[in-house]
Amino acid sequence: MRMRPTLSWTPAEDWPPGTTDPRPVADALSAGGVLVLSGAGLSTESGIPDYRGEGGSLSRHTPMTYQDFTGGARARRRYWARSHLGWRTFGRARPNAGHRAVAAFERHGLLAGVITQNVDGLHQAAGSASVVELHGSLDRVVCLSCGTFGSRRELALRLEEANAGFAPVAAGINPDGDADLTDDQVGDFRVVPCAVCGGILKPDVVFFGEAVPPHRIDHCRSLVREASSLLVLGSSLTVMSGLRFVRQAAEAGKPVLIVNRDPTRGDQHALTRVALPLGATLTTVAERLGVPVDDGTPRTG
């Protein structure tokens, strides 16, 4: 049976309300040992939409599932056409104030690590070093036949050569780097095979309906065990992929703090949910802690 993505989650009427007071987040960070769990909401200020927030992509777009991708050449053609076009925009995204604040907290020894559900690489681009990419990264591709990993940029060049002049106008971009194209716009887009064995190439990301590698989950669970608290940034926690770590922290008696404008599936386990914009909130927290945050200006010389 094919698995479809979890599109929505409805909070109960007695779900804990959010607050506009970021002091508990500052207090947790000042104590150190904070493990960050970030979601798509952290990257919205970089121009990448989230899945389930206001105007989220799931209101208009159903992401590719692993079962569909592996089930037929037509689905793969549709995916790679949309993803190839989206990559041009996705690859130009830059870290925002939220990413830079997280990197600053790490530099000052306040974090136990970062687990991100995002596939955009923006944490690393902002300077974070200890990042676990729970769902992989769009920067890499993997062959489903021989297991060879490759560069997405190299694949992009091969797709450009195979599809000269392919430049339809997309209706939008999605959190997984997928552009909104009609079937007519996809047309007869040519998919290229693995350069090593001729097998099927897939982005090195966890699709909906695909399991996160067990060793990665085990590593994340060990980070939760070692952390003093868990700070969730920009995730609705609708799917178990991230919610499991919130539940683990809560069951171990570790404080869980959430910064997300909308209610999340993890609110009942949290000490507080700060319902404010991420970039401004994390910048304010950094200022209170005396932690300087880069302004994002590229350095030269």
Query: What's the confidence (pLDDT) of residue 295?
Result: 83
At residue 92, does pLDDT exceed 70? yes
- Residue 154 has which token pair? 């190299």
What does the CA dihedral 148, 150, 154, 155 come to, rounded to 10 degrees?
60
Query: What's the confidence (pLDDT) of residue 243?
Result: 96
Question: Rounded mean pLDDT of 168-187?
Answer: 79
Question: Rounded mean pLDDT of 275-288?
Answer: 97
CATH number reported for the structural domain that contains residue 200 in this entry: 3.30.1600
CATH number reported for the structural domain that contains residue 41 in this entry: 3.40.50.1220
What does the CA dihedral 74, 211, 245, 41 come to, rounded to 10 degrees?
-10
290 and 236 in one domain?
A: yes
Are the C-beta atoms of residues 85 and 189 closer than 8 Å to each other?
no
Question: Among 106-120, 165-179, 245-259, which is the least confidently predicted range?
Answer: 165-179
Question: Rounded mean pLDDT of 285-296?
Answer: 94
193 and 106 in one domain?
A: no
181 has binding-site annotation: no
248 has binding-site annotation: no
Question: Among 105-109, 155-159, 174-178, 200-204, which is the least confidently predicted range?
Answer: 174-178
Q: Which domain holds residue 255?
A: 18-48+96-135+212-294
Are the C-beta atoms of residues 34 and 227 closer than 8 Å to each other?
yes
Query: What's the confidence (pLDDT) of residue 16?
Result: 75
Question: Rounded mean pLDDT of 39-45?
Answer: 94
243 and 102 in one domain?
A: yes
39 has binding-site annotation: yes
With respect to residue 219, please indicate whether it lies within any of the assigned structural domains.
yes
Question: Rounded mean pLDDT of 275-284?
Answer: 97
Percent of the chain with pLDDT over 90: 72
Phi first, then psi: give them for residue 23, nearest 5 degrees: -60, -40
189 and 161 in one domain?
A: yes
Our CA angle for 163, 165, 166, nearest 5°, is 65
The count of domains in the chain is 2
Query: What's the confidence (pLDDT) of residue 59?
Result: 45
33 has binding-site annotation: no
Q: What is the 3-state secondary structure (H, E, C) of 104-157?
A: HHHHCCCEEEEEECCCCCHHHHHCCCCEEECCEEEEEEEECCCCCEEEHHHHHH
More confident residue, 18 or 52: 18
User: CB 151: neighbour CB atoms within 10 A?
Assistant: 11
At residue 153, does pLDDT exceed 70? yes
191 and 170 in one domain?
A: yes
Which of the residues 99, 123, 135, 269 is marked catalytic?
A: 135
Label residue 13 by pLDDT band (50, 70, 90): low
Query: What's the confidence (pLDDT) of residue 54?
Result: 52
200 has binding-site annotation: no
- Residue 215 catalytic? no
150 and 27 in one domain?
A: no
Question: Rounded mean pLDDT of 120-147?
Answer: 96
Query: What's the confidence (pLDDT) of residue 252?
Result: 98
45 has binding-site annotation: yes
Query: What's the confidence (pLDDT) of residue 57?
Result: 44
205 has binding-site annotation: no
Question: Rounded mean pLDDT of 189-215?
Answer: 95
Question: Rounded mean pLDDT of 110-135?
Answer: 96
Q: Tell me the helices (H) and strands (E) count for the chain, helix number first.
A: 10, 9
Question: Rounded mean pLDDT of 54-80?
Answer: 78
More confident residue, 219 or 183: 219
216 and 285 in one domain?
A: yes
Question: Among 87-96, 103-112, 137-146, which is the least confidently predicted range?
Answer: 87-96
220 has binding-site annotation: no
Q: Where are the alpha helices (DSSP H) in the chain?
A: 23-31, 66-71, 73-90, 97-107, 122-126, 152-162, 183-186, 214-226, 240-251, 278-289
Lookup result for tokens 């927030």: 53
72 and 197 in one domain?
A: yes
235 has binding-site annotation: yes
Closest CA to 6 of 175, 178, 208: 208
50 has binding-site annotation: yes
The verdict on pTM exceeding 0.75 is yes
Q: Please write the tens of the pLDDT for every residue from 228-266.
A: 999 999 999 998 999 999 999 999 999 999 999 999 999
